[in-house]
Structure 1
Amino acid sequence: MKLAGRIALGLLAVLLVLVAVVLVRTFTYKAPPGLDASGVKVAPPVAVDLDRAARNLSAAIQIPTVRHQDRAQDQLAEWDRLHGFLQTTYPAAHAAMGREVIDAQTLIYTWKGADPALPPIILMAHQDTVPVTPGTEGAWKHPPFSGAIADGAVWGRGSIDDKGSLIGLFEAIETLAARGFSPRRTVILVLGGDEEVLGSGAQAAARLLKSRGVMAEFVLDEGLVVLKDNPITGGKLAVIGTAEKGYATLKVTANATGGHSSAPPKDSGGVAILAKAVTAIVDDQFPLAFRGPGAEMLKAVAPSAGFPVKMAVANEWLFRPLLVSQVGATPPGAALLHTTIAPTMLKGSPKENVLPQDATAWINYRIAPGDTPDSVMARARSAVGDLPVTLAWNGRPAAPSAVSSTNSRGWRALAATAGAVSGAPVAPSLVTAATDSRWLQPVARDVYRFQPVELALSDVQLIHGTNEHLTLPNLEKMVQFYARLIATAAS
């Protein structure tokens, strides 16, 4: 046989072996170990007074605890009103728990367990909301702070983010306490007063708990939800955040001489230099990488996905470039796989015919696990090269969180309860926004981020958006979830 023929046969044999390996790995692929929480006995459902819960969420929305970037605009009396409302509305919960008010109107409640040797669990929500964009009030179906109960939902700013969780927690604890439930494991609530402006209250809570020697079994805060139409299988998926991205804003400044715009310098001044610097930074994107919690979500869901997805994930060694390109084809998908770069604010001259003496841009980064503020700064400095600009952090950057376990007792209790209440498979993933829970890492073994709210992908825009509302079925799921989680994890 000629050499060419032997080579062709050899290549065919290699190809057949490769196909066989791919098929065997595909048909035998299972989700990573530790994700199955089927052995956990979840506490039974409780009787939820949905009318009461809706009225109470409505009342909480009507107390506008709005945090502004300029803290001088905050109406702190509204937090006092909300605190008084909670005390009056939930007598059994307040009889069962001790209450403390700390920095930034943050609340800490402690429901002491019968066995102080057991690590506590920490459940979180926040009291504050973002403002309504001026001029958009008329676009709301119901006024944004009306708390209207209509069309099968409670309407208003904060209904999902995050007074739904706040009221869901209190409704759950009121229900459990009123029927005589007593936890074996201590339950701590940390209810941030200023989450929407980066959480000094949660930081203070973490310092206080650390000073008391608290090391919790787990922390649960807002973050991810039950997707009705997850893009992998098209069906429901309860997605629990096991990590969240870091947060940093880079301030880029181009200093210039200034002067009259009728005689601009040869380089066109600070604005032109700044534009070149911003463009250089944005054009030097962080590479997409199939790793971390974003990749773990796909690995968890792949066994129930279509054959092409299952084959690609089962044979990641071969199809990694394809996985990266497919997941990264949309902005939300890409955000799971790398550190993102988003220019958000600009400042130049105060007048159209005046050259600015300095031009400034602010670039917001959401830092993926594996990167650090230092590596982000180094990449930006490399991108601008010798352009005459200065780079500095606007405030203190926050590194990405640690990745929490999917094998721990906390994960198993949480995943089992989420699956029981939602009727959906459960998967870990990465939270691309920022939550108060990142500050609690020093006082917990694991930190998770999840609300039992069923949303379509198109509904996510309601959070911080116009016509924010929480459906009554979702409110009922909130109460059931928190009650059953406490009864499962703390009994």
Structure 2
Amino acid sequence: MTLFDETLGLLRILVRNACVNDLTPDSGGEVRNADALEDFFAAEIAAGRDSGAVTVQRLEPRPGRTSIIITVRGHDPDADPLTFLGHTDVVPVDAEHWTRDPFGAVTEGTGEDARIYGRGTVDMLGLTAPMAAVTREVAREAVSGRPPRGTLTFVGVADEEARGGLGAKWLAREHPDALDWRNCVSETGGSHLPVSDGTDAVVVTVGEKGAAQRRLHVTAEPGHGSQPWGRELAVAKIAEVARRIVEFTPEVSRDPLWSGFVSAFRFSPEIEAALLTSPEEDDYRAFGELARYAHAVSHLTVAPTVLSAGGAINVLPSSAYLELDIRTLPGQTDDDVDAELRRALGDLADEVRFERLICEPAEVSPVDSALYRAIGETVGEFFPDAAVVPVLSAGGTDLRFARRLGGVGYGFALNTRSRSLADVNAQLHAHDEHLFLDDLRLTLEAYRSLVHRFVG
């Protein structure tokens, strides 16, 4: 059996275990995937136990929410380590909108069209499986007396889809020494940009936007629903708050990541200048299918997502609130966010109370680290003519915890030339989520190359 066959077999098991995280503490059941991964490494763990060449740890803050850590010890204590952070939970499915069994892990098609269907195949079991397979290959060498130069660690971590409270966040806080956080690789990266002149560019995710969730409260005069005349209505007030928030556009990013992303597309000087200074909504259409992503990584984004007011149909409520999913750019603080919200609300701002919910700063790793250079060299091995473009993720990953502990973290996989960043983004949390087998194979080979290049 080839390494690719082993990887595909593991991916099928991980998908079929259906470790669905619905954001409640007792969901997930990642213990099933932790068991599968321990079985996958069983021979290497047994062979390396006495020498310490290969070790396993299982940690869980709550029954069933298990993270597993496999460490292959390097022979040179001064060599750079490498850690694969792969999560084992997946988001829920709306089964009636799937045309295949979301947990069947069925493969269809042949040649370039061959693919595997299932929740998590793209986010991110299709990366976790090759991470584990490459680590096991190195572990086999280690127990045979040929350890890597630097230590290689694989982590199958729980609860990523709920921002890591029972997974990486908990590990970083309660067990920071359980793994090496200095050089980490996780999701996603490795897809291609549709450069205007037809040349190639491959993205590597170097950071992610922060979170600055808010609940905006308003109050008004209560009363009987039969007599609304002359009253200030809480529902009308919160509706006006929502309208002003939606119509407000913050200034475009001045961060080099945004300017570098724009430059990678090789637009005309006029379009590039507009996108970097004061873009209009229509200017983003230059990015095609990536317009929504481009807008997200170029601005502070504020999305109204939850609205609450009243409880009885015949009562005028005395209060209402609006919840906002806010994603910040590097360098933006909570005070900056509140100032922007006040600008959006204008003369209504003094009548609105801001409540801060989850707040985390944007996190970015440098592009001059040894690991980033190794990733760039790996991309060049497979796509010699491609530019390597560092990008910001609009969402969150477990890599932010590595960065907070002083490490660097990059989202890296590798996709075929025909797979754009828009194609990959379209599969995240989607109905009929699927991964092309050519991408699984290429990611596996890229991880093998990166490990050889970085830890020996």
TM-score normalised per structure 1: 0.79
Q: Matched residues in 1 for 2:201 and 2:43: separation?
A: 34
Residue type of the alignment partner of 1:141: T
Higher relative contact order (CA closer than 8 Å, sequence separation 6+): 1
Deviation per residue, 1:2-60 (Å, 9 max, x gap): xxxxxxxxxxxxxxxxxxxxxxxxxxxxxxxxxxxxxxxxxxxxx95333322221111
Residue 55 of structure 2 is aligned to residue 55 of structure 1: no
Residue 296 of structure 2 is aligned to residue 335 of structure 1: yes
Q: CA deviation at 1:459?
A: 4.7
Residue type of the alignment partner of 1:412: R
Alignment correspondent of 1:150:
108
Q: Matched residues in 2 for 1:425 and 1:453: separation?
A: 14
Alignment correspondent of 2:96:
138
* Contact 1:245/1:431, CA 8 A, preserved across alignment: yes
Alignment correspondent of 1:321:
277
Q: CA deviation at 1:244?
A: 0.9
Alignment correspondent of 2:171:
205
Deviation per residue, 1:371-404 (Å, 9 max, x gap): 122210222134334453221112x301111x32
Residue type of the alignment partner of 1:334: H
1:253-268 mapped onto 2 (5 Å cutoff)? 253-264=217-228, 266-268=230-232
Q: Aligned with 1:467: secondary structure?
A: coil
* Contact 1:328/1:337, CA 8 A, preserved across alignment: no
Q: Matched residues in 1 for 2:234 and 2:257: separation?
A: 41
Residue 452 of structure 2 is aligned to residue 487 of structure 1: yes
Residue 149 of structure 2 is aligned to residue 190 of structure 1: no
1:112-261 mapped onto 2 (5 Å cutoff)? 112-133=73-94, 137-151=95-109, 152-179=114-141, 182-200=147-165, 201-207=167-173, 210=176, 216=182, 218-227=183-192, 229-234=193-198, 236-261=200-225
Relative distance call for 1:351 and 1:323 in structure 2 (3 A) is closer
Q: CA deviation at 1:471?
A: 1.2
State which drifts further: 257-266 or 239-248: 257-266
Deviation per residue, 1:100-121 (Å, 9 max, x gap): 2223422222221111123422
2:325 to 356, 364, 379: 364
* Contact 1:54/1:149, CA 8 A, preserved across alignment: no
Q: CA deviation at 1:197?
A: 0.5
Q: Matched residues in 1 for 2:92 and 2:297: separation?
A: 27
Deviation per residue, 1:413-459 (Å, 9 max, x gap): 01111332456432111111111111111334422122223433245
Question: Percent of aligned pairs with the same residue?
Answer: 24
* Contact 1:209/1:443, CA 8 A, preserved across alignment: no
Q: CA deviation at 1:319?
A: 8.9
1:93-108 mapped onto 2 (5 Å cutoff)? 93-94=44-45, 95=48, 97-102=54-59, 103=61, 104-108=65-69
State which drifts further: 447-456 or 412-421: 447-456
1:392-431 mapped onto 2 (5 Å cutoff)? 392-394=355-357, 396-401=358-363, 403-421=364-382, 424-431=386-393
Residue 344 of structure 2 is aligned to residue 378 of structure 1: no
Alignment correspondent of 1:83:
34
* Contact 1:92/1:177, CA 8 A, preserved across alignment: no
Q: Matched residues in 2 for 1:451 and 1:50: separation?
A: 15
Aligned length: 427
TM-score normalised per structure 2: 0.85
Q: CA deviation at 1:323?
A: 7.4
Alignment correspondent of 2:288:
none
RMSD between aligned alpha carbons?
Answer: 2.8
Q: Aligned with 2:212: secondary structure?
A: strand
Residue 28 of structure 2 is aligned to residue 65 of structure 1: no
Q: Matched residues in 1 for 2:372 and 2:435: separation?
A: 26
* Contact 1:169/1:479, CA 8 A, preserved across alignment: yes
* Contact 2:117/2:434, CA 8 A, preserved across alignment: yes
In structure 1, list runs of 5 or more residues that go unmatched. Answer: 1-46
Q: Matched residues in 1 for 2:383 and 2:115: separation?
A: 18
In structure 2, list runs of 5 or more residues that go unmatched. Answer: 286-290
Alignment correspondent of 1:9:
none
Q: CA deviation at 1:287?
A: 0.6
State which drifts further: 332-341 or 205-214: 205-214
